[in-house]
A = this chain, B = another copy of it.
Amino acid sequence: MPELKLAIDAMGGDNGPSVVIEALINSLKQDTTTQFVVVGDEAILSSLFSQFELSDHPQVTLVHAEQVVEMTDKPGATMRQKPQSSMRVALDMHAHGEVDGVVSGGNTGALMAQAYFILKPIPGVLRPALMAALPNMTGGRSYLLDLGANPSCDSETLFQFGVMGSVAARVLESDKNVSVALLNMGEEELKGNDEVRNAAQLLGQSEHVNYIGFIEGNHLFSGRADVIVCDGFVGNIALKSCEGLATLIIDELKASLTSHWLYSWFFKFLQKRTKKSWQRLKPDHYNGASLIGLRGVVVKSHGSANATAFESAISHAIKEASHRLPEKIQDRVESVLLEQH
């Protein structure tokens, strides 16, 4: 297999390029073959490269980009307004075949819009989708899509998300035979809206998906399904609501445990003792949402990711690129289209 090459947008994310460089250094400790192209402001990056002795590293190169897509930029306008942004330069390199994938922690809307126009969807794919892993109670991961790339989806699009999601989850979960479910407000056939009911029909009829039916929100973390499909509006709100609840619980726990030195001591004890088990639930380990359905590998890191989290996004991209995920999705989509016609 030829050497893998990954472009990293070093300027995206709230924590600046130093976090990205720290993540890269960690990745380099595990991975001695992948080539990393770090894209961003040359002055800033050169200085970080010297500081961390990356300047002559055989796996690392620097590509200058003079603009940065800010979190506040309007996604649709960044193509025209910032043709020299680090995000754009990384995606252009991917479109020209110079790299096998892109990782960015920048503006999600801009990344989705630019990736769509620069890389283009896989033939036959109606809409690309954003997919991320969630921890589940079996100790494994479930994959949820769409997380916000498509606010409204017709049944055919939801069906395709099931198809693409099962191919992607299989690659990320080492060839596991993944099950697919539709997120709905009940498990009975008649529940929900027309879109999910019709998508259920399509998924149930297809030979290319291991479809197990509707699941409700309380099974998002139960491990009942490996891939959970919904439209981007629902997926975004489900995930962010959970984020809100987690914040509430942690705040409440901290407040009640730090109100007295004794509790505070217990809290520290607790943190140590439960570290291993909580480690598994930490968002860092689930960082990296894959934009699937495009002719390329694009992984979005959370804007506020730390080095561990960004490293996880990098490893997602390496997995997808080394397994040639876009080609696998294309093959499956072609089979599905043949099945339908």
**Chain A contact residues, CB within 8 Å of chain B:** 135-137, 148, 151-152, 183-185, 191-193, 216-222, 230, 232-234, 236-249, 251-253, 255-257, 263, 266, 269-270, 273-274, 276-278, 280-281
Q: Which residues of B contact A230 (CB under 8 A)?
A: 237
Number of chain copies forming the complex: 2
Q: Which residues of B contact A278 (CB under 8 A)?
A: 252, 256
B237 contacts A256, C-beta separation under 8 Å: no
B251 contacts A151, C-beta separation under 8 Å: no
Q: Which residue of B lies closest to A191 (CB)?
A: B151
Closest approach, in angstroms, between the C-beta of A123 and any C-beta of chain B?
A: 27
B266 contacts A270, C-beta separation under 8 Å: yes
B252 contacts A277, C-beta separation under 8 Å: yes
Contacts A192-B151, A236-B217, A277-B255 given: A246-B244 contact, CB under 8 Å? Answer: no
Interface residues of A: mostly helix, strand, loop or mixed? helix
**Selected contact of A269 from candidates B184, B233, B248, B266, CB within 8 Å:** B266
Contacts A234-B237, A255-B277 given: A245-B248 contact, CB under 8 Å? Answer: no
Other contacts beyond A151-B193, A221-B247, A242-B244: 17, CB < 8 A: A137-B251, A151-B192, A184-B237, A193-B233, A216-B236, A218-B240, A218-B241, A221-B244, A221-B248, A237-B238, A238-B238, A238-B241, A248-B281, A252-B280, A255-B277, A256-B273, A256-B276
Q: Which residues of B contact A185 (CB under 8 A)?
A: 148, 151, 232-233, 236-237, 240
Q: Which residue of B lies closest to A147 (CB)?
A: B185
Q: Which residue of B lies closest to A248 (CB)?
A: B221
A274 contacts B245, C-beta separation under 8 Å: no
How distant is the Cα of A277 from the Cα of B183 in the complex, in angstroms?
33
Q: List 8 A-B contacts (CB under 8 A).
A: A137-B248, A137-B251, A217-B243, A239-B241, A252-B278, A256-B277, A257-B270, A266-B273
Q: Which residues of B contact A239 (CB under 8 A)?
A: 217, 241
